[in-house]
Chain A
Amino acid sequence: MNLVEFEGKELFKKYGIPVPKGIVVKSSVEKVSFPSPAVVKSQVPVGDRGRKGGILIAKNTKEISSAVTKIWQTSIGGYVPESLLIEELVSSIAERYVSISYDSGMRQPVLAINKQGGSGTARASLTYIDPLEGLQSYLLRQALFASGLKPSRALADIIKSLWNLFQSEHAILAEMNPLFELADGSFVAGDAKVILDDNAVRPEYRPYVQMSGDIAVLASGGGASMINLDALMRAGGRPANYVEYSGNPKSEVVRTLTKKVLSQRGLKGCWVVGGTANFTDIYETLLGFTEGLLSVKPKPKYPIVIRRDGPRQKEAFVMLKQFSEQHDFDIHLFGPEIPMSESAKVMVKLAYKRKKK
């Protein structure tokens, strides 16, 4: 789960990491009053906000209000901000980079320090942390020497706090970039980027990604769903969304999901696809689909292509055939006799043929 900056900074504060004084604005009608000069920051989970118009410096009250108006209207990387952060300007003597994340190759946490802020991990000095030992003081001292920074008490304390946060909050990334060094030797985290481990903090989460196309997709299987979207795009299709529902979902889960996916505007087709299921009850799943389908307004007239295989698939197809005749839906059924990627081609052909008529 990607936290936005102010959420990350709330965690920083909880662990004793200093952050600039600031306020969070959560609505564009909210009246803003904050002493100038200030920096106004869009709260979207996207990197490089500065260069994308998401961070503006304001010298006086008037500039603050115009920056606020402007940032509310700026969408970055597909995200429209839901909140803004207004902070005091920090005058620093240097900007550093510090992060803790997991190195998948080493399967260990890694502390990255760069004398120069803003440059990310690419040129940072890396120190691996043995999870059985944690970040011991000697290791932290080594890391600071290796980075070329003086291992001051203030800096060591902040990095220790970041490690505590990383462990206790189930983070997979905790980053301070930049970390401001002030003239008096103290430090302030200018930005906070924190990603929490979905497995630990929201195990029920299922990804749902809005895309800009016109074919609604209901895909099963973590890997198969991705391979199938690749196949759809290769066949010339434009997916409207990415979603994956695997395991053995109850019919009401599928019903709700179907309604959500098919309530998108401007659809030209719907593709229900999955490989050979081991344990998923295909009948139950597709029953949920039909229930969801009936609840969609206006009634979908576009072609629906279903490719499924697994337990009770034949029974499910008998039910679907009856259903589609009774309710007059344009449903096309395929079992294991055609590959998943073939059904992508069928979907594309049916969906876009209609457009030209």
Chain B
Amino acid sequence: MAILVDHKTNVLVQGITGTEGSRAVKEMLLYGTTVVAGVTPGKGGQKVEKVPVYNSIKEALKKHPEINTTLVAVPPMFVKDAILEAVASRIPLINVLTEKVPVADIAYCFAAAQRMGVRIVGPSSVGIISPGKAKVGAIGAAELVDRVFKAGVVGVISKSGGMTAEISRILTEAGLGQSTAVGIGGEVLLGSDFVDLARLFEADRQTKVIVIFGEVGGPYEELLAEAMTAGEITKPVVALIAGGFSTKLPSGTVLGHAGAIVSAGKGSAESKIRALTKAGARIAKSPEDIPKLVKKMLG
């Protein structure tokens, strides 16, 4: 099982001829992911790592109707257009690697995606990996991917790309593999949030425990707590929440990610920890705490 990506994933890369796009293609192929096509307008007919490049998604789909996932790796100002093209083509999973996408563009694309019933993960998503099956995006460079990620029962959802890998490495070293690890980005608006993905992990037979990495700012961690309390998420949740240090900083200060906004009361790290604890989640004080909490949950 696993969620979002697996053996049946057939990837299209939008922005395949760019630096980020071509690096991601190479990495995905090295991991054994099926990358079937790329799009860069005006560069149709070229190849990147033997993957054919098309001018539009329409052209790519004509030759490769099996495409079911797209990685968006175009510069920030072209992201809205790239996502809307993917939405119009009804590609069910749109993973956005690009950082610094304007909030208004995310809101617009999210509304369009919802209308068409397709999913966005990101922007600023480091990627999605189902260890041993496939990966999409920039997650896990080839020289360390097998040391960091192993197949197993833990579903990982993280606002931070670096911490997606760090937490997975700590789990793997403790003998705990992952079903799927997903970087959801740390933006003000998320294409997919903790609740969206926890729902998928809830339905996934391979996943026994969900580990989340959350941060100060925004409502997403509290929303997960609400979904747990409502009985929508029943699998055990272990949470590591960053940003407790910021309580004495002025409200509104932006920290490591655009969505990591110092907040008093709701949205503070303390409030998230309180809500999640009340909903039954176990709170890790540091990344190294996570494996023992997961093992406790597994019984």
A-side residues, CB < 8 A to B, are: 2, 45-47, 77-79, 102, 104-105, 107-109, 130-132, 167, 170, 172, 195, 197-200, 203, 207, 209, 211, 220-227, 229-234, 239, 242, 244, 246, 274-279, 339-341
Given A198-B258, A207-B254, A226-B256, A276–B242 Cβ distance below 8 Å?
A: no
List of A residues within 8 angstroms of B138 by Cβ: 278-279
Given A102-B189, A203-B76, A339-B287, A222–B260 Cβ distance below 8 Å?
A: yes
List of A residues within 8 angstroms of B158 by Cβ: 223
CB atoms of A341 and B163 under 8 A apart? no
Give Cα A246 to B101, complex, Å: 17
The interface-forming segment of B2-10, B64-72, B149-157, B211-219 is B211-219
CB atoms of B106 and A107 under 8 A apart? yes
CB atoms of B252 and A226 under 8 A apart? no
List of A residues within 8 angstroms of B243 by Cβ: 226, 230
List of B residues within 8 angstroms of A207 by Cβ: 253-256
B-side residues, CB < 8 A to A, are: 76, 100-104, 106-108, 110-112, 115, 138, 140-141, 144, 148, 158-163, 165-166, 169, 186-190, 193, 213, 215-216, 218-220, 223, 240, 242-246, 248-260, 269, 285-288
Give Cα A340 to B163, complex, Å: 12
Given A105-B219, A109-B107, A340-B287, A223–B163 Cβ distance below 8 Å?
A: yes
A-B contact pairs, 30 of them (CB 8 A): A45-B250, A45-B252, A104-B218, A105-B193, A105-B223, A172-B188, A197-B103, A198-B258, A199-B76, A199-B103, A200-B103, A203-B100, A207-B255, A209-B253, A222-B260, A223-B257, A226-B243, A226-B260, A227-B163, A229-B246, A233-B244, A242-B246, A244-B255, A244-B256, A276-B162, A277-B162, A278-B144, A339-B286, A341-B286, A341-B287
Give Cα A44 to B259, complex, Å: 22
Among A172, A197, A225, A226, which residue has the most Cβ atoms of chain B within 10 A? A226
CB atoms of A227 and B165 under 8 A apart? no
Option from A104, A132, A223 in Cβ contact (under 8 Å) with B160: A223
List of B residues within 8 angstroms of A78 by Cβ: 250
Distance between B262 CB and nearest chain A CB, rounded to angstroms: 9
Give Cα A170 to B106, complex, Å: 12
Give Cα A230 to B257, complex, Å: 16
CB atoms of B76 and A131 under 8 A apart? no
CB atoms of A223 and B258 under 8 A apart? no
A sample of 8 more A-B contacts (CB under 8 A), given A102-B189, A105-B219, A172-B188, is: A45-B250, A102-B107, A102-B188, A104-B189, A105-B223, A109-B107, A199-B187, A222-B260
Give Cα A233 to B193, complex, Å: 29
CB atoms of A199 and B102 under 8 A apart? yes
The 9 closest A-B pairs by CB, nearest first: A223-B160, A222-B256, A226-B242, A221-B162, A200-B102, A223-B163, A229-B245, A203-B100, A275-B166
CB atoms of A226 and B219 under 8 A apart? no
CB atoms of B107 and A131 under 8 A apart? yes
CB atoms of A132 and B108 under 8 A apart? yes
Write the chain A residue with the least CB distance to B269.
A230
Distance between A32 CB and nearest chain B CB, rounded to angstroms: 27
List of A residues within 8 angstroms of B285 by Cβ: 234
Given A198-B254, A199-B101, A209–B249 Cβ distance below 8 Å?
A: yes
Write the chain B residue with the least CB distance to A103.
B219
Give Cα A224 to B246, complex, Å: 14
Given A79-B250, A221-B163, A222-B257, A131–B215 Cβ distance below 8 Å?
A: no
Write the chain A residue with the least CB distance to B220.
A104
Give Cα A108 to B162, complex, Å: 28
Write the chain A residue with the least CB distance to B113.
A107
CB atoms of A200 and B254 under 8 A apart? no
Given A132-B111, A172-B188, A223-B160, A230–B245 Cβ distance below 8 Å?
A: yes
List of A residues within 8 angstroms of B244 by Cβ: 230, 233
Distance between B104 CB and nearest chain A CB, rounded to angstroms: 7
Give Cα A341 to B190, complex, Å: 28
CB atoms of A77 and B250 under 8 A apart? yes
Write the chain B residue with the least CB distance to A229.
B245
Write the chain B residue with the least CB distance to A172.
B103
Give Cα A46 to B160, complex, Å: 28
Distance between A273 CB and nearest chain B CB, rounded to angstroms: 12
Give Cα A244 to B160, complex, Å: 13
Give Cα A234 to B286, complex, Å: 10
Option from B102, B148, B256 in Cβ contact (under 8 Å) with A170: B102
Given A172-B188, A278-B165, A199–B100 Cβ distance below 8 Å?
A: yes
Given A104-B259, A275-B163, A223–B245 Cβ distance below 8 Å?
A: no
CB atoms of A199 and B258 under 8 A apart? yes
